[in-house]
Structures are given as structure tokens and as C-alpha cells.
Amino acid sequence: MAPFHADEAKTSMQLQPCAACRMLRRRCESKCVLAPYFPTDEVENFALVHRVFGAKNVVKIIQRVEEAKRGDAVKSMVYEAIARVRDPVYGSAGVIYELQKMIEELKAQLDSIKTRISEIREEKERLLSIGNSYDPLSDINVPMFDSAMASDPFEFHVEGGWLYSNISTPS
């Protein structure tokens, strides 16, 4: 839907009939109620509104609404007409229902993600607390060096003596 500009509609009305009068094949008068809201280039919008509401009902609705709010009323009628053509049973209510359903699904997904983030943070804290108090060498009770190895590695006793048999000892 093109943006509504009442000044452009008045100037275009002087040159060409409004979309409503053009579609209804009648002469567009200077006091045409529909001209400010359906300029010449918005024939499709008026065609939809006319198809759903009828030209007389559109005129009646526009006349019942105060002048400052008529532009919004026409935009609402165009939106409802588009929705009714897409979904003849529910119209814009069907669109609203689908959007509300989508919002609820997204809220559920958001809650699930928040819960998962919370679980991950708790797991991280648990692992960090274990990591801070854990000393990997504290569980080892085996001395690093045997008393036999502490003196001279070349004199280290090996069964069979095969390990250092070919190596000469340093002098």
C-alpha cells in the first residue's frame, strides 16, 4: 500500500479521477469523499476494499469517522480487505491469531534457552570450583626418586645388568 498524501490526492484529482471514481466509472467531483484516500495510482487498494465492503459501505464508514482519523480508517479497511481476500473466513483475526501463536512459541523457546544457559553456567561454576581445588599431584603417593636411584644413575641396579653393559662409565 502506498503512503497516504492528501495534498497529492487533491492535485491529482484535478487532473484525473480518484481510484474509486475511476473504477466505478463515474465522474469524480470536487466533493468526492473517497478522493483524498484513494488517489489515482491506488486502484488496486480501492478494488480490494470495494470487493470486500462495497463502495456505499466504504463511503458510509468514512463519513462516520471524524475527519482527523479517516486516513487511519481507510488504511485499516485496506488491511482488512487484503486479509479477507487471503483468508475469507478469519481475515485479519486469523493473522492476529497466527502472530499470537508465534509469540507464544517464541516465548517457550526463549524460556528453554534461558534454562539451558542457566544449566550451562551452573556446570561451568561446578567445573571451575573442582578445577580450583584440584591438585593433580596430591593423589600421587609414589616418591619421585627411588633411594637406589638417588646416588648415581649409572650404578642403578638393573636385573640382569643388560641395560648399561655396553656403556662405559664416566671417569
From the CB of residue 83, how many other CB atoms can be counted at a distance below 10 Å? 19
Q: How many helices (H) and strands (E) does the chain have?
A: 6, 0
pLDDT at 170 over 70: no
- Is 65 within 8 Å of 36 (Cβ atoms)? no
Residue with more model confidence, 36 or 10: 36
Phi and psi angles of residue 48, each rounded to the nearest 5 degrees, phi first: -65, -45
> What is 82-99 written as a DSSP string?
HHHHH-TTTTHHHHHHHH
Cα 37 to Cα 4, 26, 54, 91, 114, distances in angstroms: 7, 17, 15, 22, 47
Structure-block grid coordinates of residue 138: 596430591
pLDDT at 149 over 80: no
Rounded Cα gap, residues 110 and 117, in angstroms? 10
Question: Could you read off the pLDDT of 60-70 as tens digits, one per residue?
Answer: 999 999 999 99
Whole-structure pTM over 0.85, yes or no? no
